[in-house]
Structure 1
């Protein structure tokens, strides 16, 4: 294995097929969170939260009305469940339409034609990594910013080709979405035509390397938006782009993908193979190092928090919930936590927002199972 001289490091597929471990960011795990399948729901967490703050601030036991307040909020949210729109797509559409709550609503590939090969590293894998970084930064709307992304380089079976995959995790509240750039090119040209013509990514989700293929969570998106339901997997087309250099043009194939990290992807990753559907060799291309399907551990991606401290305005049910919490906390003399400002006590406001997001998560999961229940 040879480590890249650029930042971030690249693990070569000749020795290791997983990104180097990245130090996990500091995450506040003290905020209450509701889990749909556990005994403690989000509104139970709210009751505990109110009781604790009441006891801590007034040095007195919580009143019965305070203990019941979480249930009152749950009832209020249930009454508005008819107009609540789940943030997780549950319709029968075959083509995903968004990148999840933490994703980028409108993202697209950038053309690399304006980049001169002389401005890039001479090492091929480092060059592909740099191009992947450009795609990520452009998608994030920060073309000139430094970006800490996890990158891994592969070579393929059957065709002399190199692939770089770079990714970051976008986090908004409790939602996480992986933003991933794929960049591929031939390492040797043996003909005037490219053996990667019509390159597609045939992919799914898995709970671990070598695990069974499964469908990714709904809400993912790709650019270019050329996707096909392959029955148990998805296929996404790469975009062929030309780069100029002293030796002429060089073809690269690029694809952007963003996938919500929930369900199977909370602890797993992507599994995929490639195919040049318009080339002379249409066999499935796999990882040359293992002779098996490619695996991408999305749990290793560095996390980027939403630029707005508390993310976008919450969905209607969470907004309704926060408004009730605002009135209650004002009665307790703990400040104003309007959903537009959260302006007096950011730490407590953050906790309130996380509880509200957990309520929405509970409602969504229950809604997917056939009804909203308290």
Structure 2
């Protein structure tokens, strides 16, 4: 469809028509445009007349207002005990048990978890740590998140949250424990499209902030929505605006605002910046680092290798449903990560 659109635009241009093409997709801009004008926050910034000399980095810097190396906003943080511990997790999509930890003292631990994964997986994540999960399509990243968020049940393995056993039978259990997910497909799984921004922010906190268990405190709902809109810098006319009419970046920030209304220990982000313009990406990276600095363990799944390397303290690589390797930020390279991500028959 994109190729057909590009062909139509090219034909119209060749016929002498003037085409104004609005897009935040860099590859489309460089493919089709003869000149580019940048607007930021409703204001004119600059026009580039010669596309042959314009680089991707120059355009991004102009759009965001800072050098591209600073977009990921990485800030070293002190990490605490283990937050989440995963031991031998196994389930749909994983081929081997997966184990890991996420730091901050450690918050989350996963031991030999199985279920959608082809192998048991084990790892840990500490409080204040940003753990990146990288892999190609079909690697098992989303399947792992479905286990950690209670959407799927593990067939083997165990979870520990802040040193205590964690049983997840449903997403409700994960939310109650403070393990919160921003899903990959936000339009289908993350938002209520016809609901207002306020409703989407408050939906998960209603039970905790209601009177007699059913009547929502209207004052709290309005105040919380306004606070999160301001804190997340959600661009919307007001809290009553239908979230469907917001950009992808602002929808994502509203989802993050929803979880800030809840007690949070571990935040699971599945492709957090997919389909989002570069300016909104920069803002979301800042939010992620601020959450980690507050002691929350953050696990980020992304197919964008530069993004994973740019924001993570540590990176785990999945391949064909199994954990294939781990790289610390300071040692991670594109080549090393891609070698780990490729099926063994294809890797050099």
TM-score, normalized by length of structure 1? 0.23
Does 1 or 2 have the higher relative contact order (CA < 8 Å, sep 6+)?
Answer: 1
Instruction: Report which of the two has the higher share of strand.
Output: 2
Instruction: Report which of the two has the higher share of helix.
Output: 2
Higher CA-based Rg: 1
TM-score, normalized by length of structure 2? 0.24
